[in-house]
Chains A and B, each alone.
Chain A
Amino acid sequence: MAPVSTRIRMRYVLAGIGSGVAGAMFVLLFLMLGCLWYRRSIWIPANLFSTAVYGSDAYTNHFVSTSWVGLAIVVVMYGVMGAAWGVVWRDQRPRFPLLYGAICGAITYFLLFGFFWKRVDPFLSLYSPDRQLEFANVIWGMIVARSPLLAARMRTETVPTQEEAVEVRSGEVIL
């Protein structure tokens, strides 16, 4: 079993991943609705992300096996970003969490689409719907801003049992 202090840090990561993945679901749904609005196939966002692995040939308007990879990339990417923000925020509850979340979403957008994808897969960067993604990322950030709440909810589950408390060295602050 992992030491208690590690488990405590893990809850920030887990809370971040949880809220990040929930946000990723929103991003995917929003991009799919955007496709419907523009009379495009709803599978285009998933296929667009799958081009990061399979190249531009994967960019089709049908659901194909590679679409799963595209969906997974979105979930993993936003999950990881959520974990990062979860660790940054820890238990802090700012006065305007949604505002902080929106700012973190905007920063995430510029990190991912203004920097990361531009270098890793220029095709994805070129074909990604800028305005939709900007908006979706801001909302994603607002969802991730709930991660301190999730972390607090997990706190009760990470309170050490008597046996576990023995592992804690004298004087270490665990909560």
Chain B
Amino acid sequence: MDERLATKPVRGVYQSMYPIPLVVIDKENGGKADALNAGINAARNPLVCSIDADSLLEQNALIRVVRPLLDDPERVLAVGGIIRIANGCESSSGRVVKVGLPESWLARFQVVEYLRAFLGGRVAFSALNSLMIVSGAFGLFNKAAVLAVGGYDTDTVGEDMELIVRLHRWAREQRKPYRIVFEPDPVCWTEAPESLKVLERQRKRWQRGTVETLWKHRDVVMRPGYGMLGWFAMPYFVVFEGLGPFIECGGYLATIAGLLFGLIDFDSSTLFFVTAVLNGMVLSASCVVLEELSTRRYPQVKNLATLLVAACLENLGYRQIMTFWRAAAIIDLLRGDKSWGVMERKGFGARRVAAEDARN
């Protein structure tokens, strides 16, 4: 095995040729990033794809995701597909066979949140060639570029974002024309946490990963030579992802304190709060409508109606909890917390059996 990327010791490599060529690497546990690096070392082709173990790819997702790399093989360094919530879907033989919405509102809020993040944010960042994240759950990379930047960083919990920022930096420092692309068509279905405890762990980890990456690459911010990355994407992430939770939490606390001590007018602050919430509702609802108009995976009208309701309700409580967790995650990071946390999964088994029973 080519060991261009340093990893924990590999105990053995097992290969099967039937029914599909499959290589399994047995190695000492070094975390997800270390495992991905071992996979890249073992890869024999010019492209490498990372997929989370708790995710299912839609049929044709790989063919679709490779398109930008076929269109522009010299410049495209990485392509990210869209991640969707599999809770509520039925699966069979590793494929989602019937798309549906989750039953719990917590998971439904996450469906809306994912749509907003992918169809709103990432499409725009991709168009400006300043995409900062290709989700670790489903990303396709030019192997040579990944090897050139040294693979995944094993010292961060946000290894997917860190790799993308490093690829941006490397290409810009080499003065190499490049693109990092988001494709909304290739779909990867993943399982979302349905308990607040697990969701809290996941979100805190994501936030710590984001802030770690921003801190590690802080020298890029507003530096000539880094183009849209330095002048738009990084400052945006610093303000809205790094400082945003504190600003939002501070706003809530200051408003409550102001009202209690009679420092601010009740009507004005209520109007301001309602405007902010309505703005959030309009943004979320727009992304649900955008999904319906573009990629369209939810087949029933009632799915769309439920998502629109979820888009409105998620601004009343869910969003505030997320903001609070994100702020708490930064405080955890300052205290030195680098844990990944246990992610409890229900798996696709129960749903799969139900789907197969229904067919028989």
A residues sitting closer than 8 Å to B (CB atoms) are 39-41, 44, 59-61, 123, 126-127, 131
Contacts and interface: CB of A to CB of B under 8 A. Distances in A.
B71 A126 contact: no
A170 to B, nearest CB: 60
Interface stretch (B59-67, B156-164, B218-226, B248-256): B59-67
Given A39-B179, A40-B72, A61-B72, A127 B294 contact: no
A5 B145 CA distance: 67
A123 B294 CA distance: 20
Q: B60, B67, B179 — which one has the most chain A CB atoms within 10 A of its CB?
A: B67
Contacts of B179: 39
Given A39-B179, A131-B294, A44 B71 contact: yes
Contacts of B334: none
A126 B72 contact: no
Contacts of A41: 71-72
Give the 9 A-B CB pairs with smallest separation, nearest first.
A40-B71, A61-B71, A59-B70, A61-B72, A127-B67, A44-B71, A126-B60, A126-B63, A40-B72
Contacts, number: 19
Q: A59, A123, A127, A131 — which one has the most chain B CB atoms within 10 A of its CB?
A: A127
A111 to B, nearest CB: 21
B176 to A, nearest CB: 15
A147 B64 CA distance: 38
Interface of B: 60, 63-64, 67, 70-73, 179, 294
Q: B60, B63, B64 — which one has the most chain A CB atoms within 10 A of its CB?
A: B63
A39 B73 CA distance: 13
Contacts of B72: 39-41, 61
Nearest to B75: A39
Contacts of B63: 123, 126
7 contacts: A39-B72, A41-B72, A44-B71, A60-B70, A123-B63, A127-B67, A131-B294
Nearest to A56: B70
Nearest to B70: A59
Nearest to A40: B71
A82 to B, nearest CB: 29
Nearest to B67: A127
Contacts of A123: 63
Given A39-B72, A60-B70, A61-B73, 10 more contacts: A40-B71, A41-B71, A41-B72, A59-B70, A61-B71, A61-B72, A126-B60, A126-B63, A127-B67, A131-B294
A160 B74 CA distance: 61
Nearest to B126: A38
A44 B72 CA distance: 10
A127 B71 CA distance: 10
B68 to A, nearest CB: 8
A31 to B, nearest CB: 13
A137 B359 CA distance: 39
Contacts of A60: 70
Contacts of B60: 126
Contacts of A59: 70
Contacts of A40: 71-72
A61 B179 CA distance: 15
B43 to A, nearest CB: 21
Nearest to A60: B70
A113 to B, nearest CB: 15
A44 to B, nearest CB: 6
Contacts of A61: 70-73
A146 to B, nearest CB: 30
Nearest to B295: A130
Nearest to B293: A131
Contacts of B73: 61
A80 B352 CA distance: 46
Contacts of B70: 59-61
A53 B227 CA distance: 42
A60 B69 CA distance: 10
Nearest to A44: B71
A64 to B, nearest CB: 14
Q: B67, B70, B71 — which one has the most chain A CB atoms within 10 A of its CB?
A: B71
Contacts of A44: 71
B185 to A, nearest CB: 9
A138 B60 CA distance: 27
Contacts of A127: 67
A61 B73 CA distance: 9
A40 B179 CA distance: 11
Contacts of A126: 60, 63-64
Contacts of A39: 72, 179
A131 B295 CA distance: 10
A5 B294 CA distance: 48
A66 to B, nearest CB: 15
